[in-house]
Amino acid sequence: MKSKKPDSKGPDPSSLSDFAACSEPTASDPVEPTPAANPIAPTLPTWKAFVIQLTHDTTPESGIFAGRVEHLTSGRRQRFASGKELLSMVMRLLRDLDAPGKDQ
């Protein structure tokens, strides 16, 4: 797996060593409102919940980032072999499951 160098916009999320840096909150990150602030549209809807299970070989030292992603409400699951594949699979599942007027 060949890792891209980070550009001026930030680290490449497909690189395992940069994954933690991508997930760290920054001062510029907006504060999410609590569900009580908007009970009609939760900021974290359950139909967009996923579980990511990483393989035993996935470690910062190995450079391997592989595992399985599962969509919680549909049960659909798929294996991935890189951060780029994981993001692609999640986006594809969201496109497949998203429908106008979705109220879950």
Q: Where are the domains of the chain?
A: 12-17+47-98
How much is the pLDDT for 21? 52
| Cα–Cα dist 58/17, whole Å | 11
Largest separation between any pair of C-alpha atoms in the chain: 45
Residue found by looking up tokens 């990150």 in the block: 29
Residue found by looking up tokens 């599942």 in the block: 93
Residues 69/81, Cβ–Cβ less than 8 Å:
no
Mean residue pLDDT of the chain comes to 74
Contacts of 49 (CB under 8 A, 6+ apart): 71, 72, 73
- In degrees rounded to 5, what are phi and psi of residue 17? -65, -25
Tell me the per-residue pLDDT of 27-76, one tens digit each, with 9 for 90 and over: 555 555 555 555 666 788 888 999 999 999 999 999 999 999 999 999 99
Predicted confidence (pLDDT) at residue 11 exceeds the cutoff of 50 = no
What global pTM score does this model have?
Answer: 0.56
The pLDDT-based confidence of 9 (bands split at 50, 70, 90) is very low
| Cα–Cα dist 104/98, whole Å | 10
